[in-house]
Amino acid sequence: MKPTIIISIVAMALLGVACNPIEDTSARDEFAEKGAPVSVDELNAALSVTQPIPNSDDKVEGDQYVVLNNTRTDIPGTWFVETSTGTVRRNTDHDTVIYGANNTYNIYFVGLSEGQAVRSRTFTVTVTNCFDEYMTFLTGAVDKADRTAKKTWKLLDHPLSFYNGMYGAWKYYTMSPGQSNYQGGSSVLTAVDFAKYMVFEMEGGKLTVYNGSNAVLGTGGWAFTHEGRGEQIDGELIVSVPLIATEKSWQGFSGTSSPYYILSVDANSMILCLPGTYNRTGEDWDYDASYYFFVPSE
């Protein structure tokens, strides 16, 4: 009996080992503290934040390019880049940031050295070269020196100045409220919505949304692109706070990761779309979107 008992005990022990996976500690070891990390001065010496096109008050160069570089590739890390719509992270050694709004921005780098986080000094970038016709439309600015310019926008006075409907309606119908059968139903707007307004400011790309009692509903930033996506879309409006009526949209607003399509914009009108998807693969009518008609406030 004894040999049988011994064999059974050994088998059970081996079975117990087989049921416990061997821990992979390689990832943990990478972040373990091993020794003295790089000093802040050493990290600063390895970093550069440069503007290939120098700022000049008598020039307009369009978008401003800022180049980030970390020469210590043995120190991985993340750049923290302030923009008009919030701070973004760039997990890379070398990158180019494109600014479209004039302001002073802060940038810094956090590196991982000997398993410890080391924060660099803050680099200050001043952008003054930017100007674009969209800035004139949105803020009323006449040129890039018009830094105090601001413009107020509200919903067009029409029951369907906001509605949920089919994706791609702008391709098939004249984009105006109440245009036949592309609306998703009756109006969901109330007097509360029509009383709200938004102020786009030139300086720093600031955006503030107010209710009818002039109380602030949200404060953030705005930016835009001219990228058309090939679907008769003029560009994108990128904001860090939701625009008026967005809370009634079928689509979820996720800050700067869910930009509004600019269907058209000029000094007197702005038509936007918040799509249900940014990666459409089927027919337009298989997807939905929300539409916004804004006009300047008198």
Tens digit of each residue's pLDDT (9 = 90 or more) over 227-246: 666 788 999 999 999 999 99
Q: How far apart (Å, rounded) are the C-alpha atoms in residues 188 and 210?
A: 19
Of 3-7, 14-18, 173-177, 268-272, give the range with the top mean pLDDT: 268-272
Query: Which helix or strand (DSSP H or E) is residue 15 part of?
Result: helix 2-19
Is CATH 2.40.128 the classification given to domain 133-296?
A: yes
Report domain extents, the chain. Answer: 30-127, 133-296
Instruction: Give the model's confidence band at 226: pLDDT under 50 very low, under 70 low, under 90 confident, else very high.
Output: confident
Q: Which of 9-23, 36-50, 199-213 has the lowest mean pLDDT?
A: 9-23
Instruction: Give the model's confidence band at 106: pLDDT under 50 very low, under 70 low, under 90 confident, else very high.
Output: very high
- Specify the pairing of strand 94-99 against strand 103-113: unpaired
| pLDDT tens for each residue of 254-271 | 999 999 999 999 999 999
Q: How far apart (Å, rounded) are the C-alpha atoms in residues 87 and 183?
A: 36
Question: Contact at 8 Å (CB) between 151 and 286?
Answer: no
What phi and psi values does residue 296 have, to the nearest 5 degrees? -65, 150
**pLDDT (mean) for 32-42:** 82
Residue 218 has pLDDT above 80, yes or no: yes
Question: Contact at 8 Å (CB) between 36 and 114?
Answer: yes
For the chain, the straight-line distance linking the first and the last C-alpha, in angstroms and rounded, comes to 100
Instruction: Give the model's confidence band at 60: pLDDT under 50 very low, under 70 low, under 90 confident, else very high.
Output: low
Contacts of 160 (CB under 8 A, 6+ apart): 177, 178, 183, 187
Q: How far apart (Å, rounded) are the C-alpha atoms in residues 238 and 205?
A: 11
Percent of the chain with pLDDT over 90: 55
Question: Contact at 8 Å (CB) between 90 and 70?
Answer: no
Q: How far apart (Å, rounded) are the C-alpha atoms in residues 77 and 73?
A: 9
Contacts of 279 (CB under 8 A, 6+ apart): none
pLDDT for res 9: 31
The answer to whether the 30-127 and 133-296 domains have the same CATH topology is: no
**And the tokens for 172?**
């098939």
pLDDT for res 11: 37
**pLDDT (mean) for 56-70:** 79
Is CATH 2.60.40 the classification given to domain 30-127?
A: yes
pLDDT for res 243: 97
pLDDT for res 46: 96
| Sign of the four-CA dihedral 29, 31, 32, 38 | positive
SS3 194: helix
As to burial, measured by CB atoms within 10 angstroms (0-12 exposed, 13-18 middle, 19+ buried), residue 197 is buried
Instruction: Give the model's confidence band at 32: pLDDT under 50 very low, under 70 low, under 90 confident, else very high.
Output: low
Instruction: Give the model's confidence band at 5: pLDDT under 50 very low, under 70 low, under 90 confident, else very high.
Output: very low
- Averaged pLDDT of the chain: 84
pLDDT for res 153: 98
- Specify the pairing of strand 64-70 against strand 162-166: unpaired
Cβ neighbour number for residue 161 with a 10 Å cutoff? 24
Residue 29 has pLDDT above 60, yes or no: no
**pLDDT (mean) for 64-75:** 93
Q: Identify any residues that bridge with 83 across adjacent strands, giving them in sequence order.
A: 86
Residue 70 has pLDDT above 50, yes or no: yes
| pLDDT tens for each residue of 117-155 | 999 999 999 888 888 889 999 999 998 888 899 999 999
pLDDT for res 12: 35
Q: Count how many residues are written for the chain.
A: 298
